[in-house]
Structure 1
Amino acid sequence: MPHAPPDPADHALFADPEGAEGVQVLPWPQAIKGRGSAWAIAHRFERDQREVFDDGWGSLDQQVQAQDLTPETQVLEEQARSILSSNQSPDIVFDLSINPYRGCEHGCIYCFARPTHSYLNLSPGLDFETRLVAKVNAAERLRAELSRPRYQPRLLCIGTATDAYQPIERRLGITRQVIEVLAEYRHPFSLVTKSSGVERDLDLIAPMAAQGLAAVYVSITTLDPQLARILEPRAAAPHRRLRTLRTLAEAGVPVGVSVSPLIPFINEPELERILEQAAEAGACSAFSIPLRLPWEVNPLFQDWLQQHFPDRSARVMARLRDLRGGRDNDPRFGSRMQGEGLWAELLQQRMRKACARLGLNRERTPMDLTRFMRPGASAAEPSAQGELF
């Protein structure tokens, strides 16, 4: 099992608790360029626990040097048994989701989906962004599931637990294959991404959008390129995301902006400026969610705070606890996506007023479920009927 780092305040002290002379003190590997976390944190299902031990042969020096190297991205292929996931949360507006990949190379330190790597017996830390799983038969499984006689179209979102346009999509094209199937069946969908890669598929998305079958939400967490570089190291730069938003809007695709997550004293002060830039680029709606810290995301984020913002880490965590009823994380339906208390109300008020001023307070783009039709089926078949959301 990967060993846990000691307190970030004192780095790594491989020392005798009695303070014996000659004890070696080594610096813990700090941030890895191009990665959100350098910590291969153990996941919550680990059965074994290991500790670092200096055997006197220089093994600790070798370990630190090895971890200073930027780890390469590995992609494992998976034959998925199912590709449509049902949503059980009343906080979410969609019914079904598709995630063509597991893990995400963007490396966003705050990603709420990091703990899902635990189910693969992999670390939610470094493994989540370096050991990816590609569902290579996603399009095949989707076609099979949409072809079932009893299937009825429901609100579908792509890229909820992984970015469907992360860098490996350029080579594998699984997301494009999925959209091709949705276009074939005229099944509506929305998509959330922080990648400019979505522009590649405008030839599919724009015609569907013209029929009320597609909408895209671009995630913009900051306008500061330096902050973006450490917060979400392999995602598109902020100015590039704004250009993507504009490109989509000019192509007739309904676009919204997600200013999520809002992290107190980190990107939260930028809320209004991000909304202004997004509206100017063509966004027609917006939403935001305060930072969530489920499971292993909590220690990973706090380690990141200590590395990059040691002067304000305590203040950030104190404000987050104000938003979460005194806890680091609040998993309860109804409050987990908005927070509670005075500071949560102030954030919501800022969001409402800015959206009203900028014309971003429109409802999310309705999806036309009535157009769904299995290839070769007649329009009169019950399977072709749906409802307008």
Structure 2
Amino acid sequence: MNLYRGCTHGCIYCDSRSTCYGMDHDFEDIEVKENALELLEAALKRKRKKCMIGTGSMTDPYIPAELKLGNLRKALALLYEYGFGFTVITKSDRVLRDLDLLQKINERAKCVVQMTLTTHDEDLCKKLEPNVSTTSERFRALLRLRDAGIPTVVWLCPILPFINDTEENISEILDCCAEGKVRGIICFGMGVTLRDGNRQYFYSQLDRHFPGMKEKYMRTYGTQYILGSPNGEHLMGMFHRHCARHGIMHEPKQIFQYLSTLDEKQGSRQLSLFG
């Protein structure tokens, strides 16, 4: 479920800027899907079995426009009314606005909030993700969600080579995850993916914030799609050991199964994330 198209967070690495998605206007120019709520309710009425409904994979729904329009909150009310589960991927502490509805959904079916964390350094965070909640704000949101009984999952990505791929950064993020008692951490590897569209924007921001870094990337990776960190193997070892020590899920397949499974609280059977 995507209620909006485009994003104003300004994350310098965003894959959704890629030309393959066919965005025919500026990425920061938000499209509002005016009939999304009607389509959603019609789909919920037709579903014979309850399932998990997800959002946030292409556009973070907690952009400023949501505060004015409230389409996500209206969608949450529909999910609760019809007894469906919900999961969202976000970088914003604005998710706390809907804490009451998230709790109701979790009590009736299941709710999981997924939060992206990339760097523990606040100054670096403002360069990488300039128009969104800082890491400390997101961490405080994770603690609030923990205290409210809402399960959470963290996306540890992307880890940008030569920028945030340090042992100190990964260790500090993992410590935050342990304190927040997150259920799982998704990490496909230490690195970033670049393709046409987001590559050009990413390099322009490297020129702006990290002089000389674009040239280093081009010398090291050329036009590769996957740009792996030179420290990747060591950092992934740290990651897996830390998660195992704290009882945090850390294999993507296991976490996605957890995200896509609706608990049998209302007689539901296990279904895929998008039904």
Q: Verify same fold: TM over 0.5.
A: yes
8 Å CA contact 1:194–1:235 kept in 2: the answer is yes
Question: Could you say if the C-alpha distance between residues 271 and 212 of structure 1 is closer, same or farther in structure 2, counting changes exceeding 3 Å?
Answer: farther
1:111 maps onto 2:14 in alignment:
yes
Mapped to 1, the partners of 2:233 and 2:42 lie a distance apart of: 45
Counterpart amino acid of residue 206 in structure 1: Q
Alignment of 1:346-365 (within 5 A): 346-361=234-249, 363-364=254-255, 365=258
Residues 156-215 of structure 1 deviation map (CA, whole Å, 9 limit, x = unaligned) = 321110101111111111111111111111111211101011101111111222345110
Residue 133 (structure 1) aligned to one of 31, 49, 54 = 31
More relative contact order, 1 or 2 (CA 8 Å, 6+ apart):
2
Larger helix proportion, structure 1 or 2? Answer: 2
Residue 312 (structure 1) aligned to one of 213, 217, 225 = 213
8 Å CA contact 1:219–1:258 kept in 2: the answer is yes
Mapped to 1, the partners of 2:41 and 2:127 lie a distance apart of: 39
Counterpart amino acid of residue 328 in structure 1: Q
Mapped to 2, the partners of 1:386 and 1:311 lie a distance apart of: 54
Residues 47-87 of structure 1 deviation map (CA, whole Å, 9 limit, x = unaligned) = xxxxxxxxxxxxxxxxxxxxxxxxxxxxxxxxxxxxxxxxx
| Counterpart for residue 285 of structure 1 | 184
| Counterpart for residue 119 of structure 2 | 222
Aligned residues: 262
* Deviation of the 1:349 alpha carbon: 2.3
| Counterpart for residue 329 of structure 1 | 225
Counterpart amino acid of residue 104 in structure 2: P
When normalised by structure 2's length, the TM-score is 0.84
Which piece of structure 1 moves more, 357-366 or 197-206? 357-366
Question: Could you say if the C-alpha distance between residues 342 and 268 of structure 1 is closer, same or farther in structure 2, counting changes exceeding 3 Å?
Answer: closer
Q: Identity over aligned residues, as a percent? A: 33
1:205 maps onto 2:88 in alignment:
no
| Counterpart for residue 23 of structure 1 | none
* Deviation of the 1:354 alpha carbon: 2.3
Residue 72 (structure 2) aligned to one of 175, 180, 184 = 175
Residues 244-300 of structure 1 deviation map (CA, whole Å, 9 limit, x = unaligned) = 000001000001211211111212211221111222133231112431112211111
Gaps of 5+ in 1: 1-97, 331-338, 373-383
Mapped to 2, the partners of 1:341 and 1:220 lie a distance apart of: 17
Alignment of 1:1-389 (within 5 A): 98-115=1-18, 119-122=22-25, 127-129=26-28, 131-148=29-46, 152-269=49-166, 270-289=169-188, 290-317=191-218, 321=221, 327-330=223-226, 344-361=232-249, 363-364=254-255, 365=258, 367-368=261-262, 370=264, 385-387=268-270
Mapped to 1, the partners of 2:243 and 2:223 lie a distance apart of: 29
SS in 1 for 2:112: strand
Counterpart amino acid of residue 285 in structure 1: G
Counterpart amino acid of residue 197 in structure 2: E
RMSD: 2.7
* Deviation of the 1:152 alpha carbon: 4.5
When normalised by structure 1's length, the TM-score is 0.61
Question: Could you say if the C-alpha distance between residues 341 and 361 of structure 1 is closer, same or farther in structure 2, counting changes exceeding 3 Å?
Answer: same
8 Å CA contact 1:187–1:371 kept in 2: the answer is no
Mapped to 1, the partners of 2:80 and 2:211 lie a distance apart of: 48
Larger Rg: 1
Mapped to 2, the partners of 1:224 and 1:147 lie a distance apart of: 45
Which piece of structure 1 moves more, 240-249 or 110-119? 110-119
Gaps of 5+ in 2: none
* Deviation of the 1:223 alpha carbon: 1.7
Counterpart amino acid of residue 313 in structure 1: K
* Deviation of the 1:116 alpha carbon: 5.8
Mapped to 2, the partners of 1:113 and 1:191 lie a distance apart of: 16
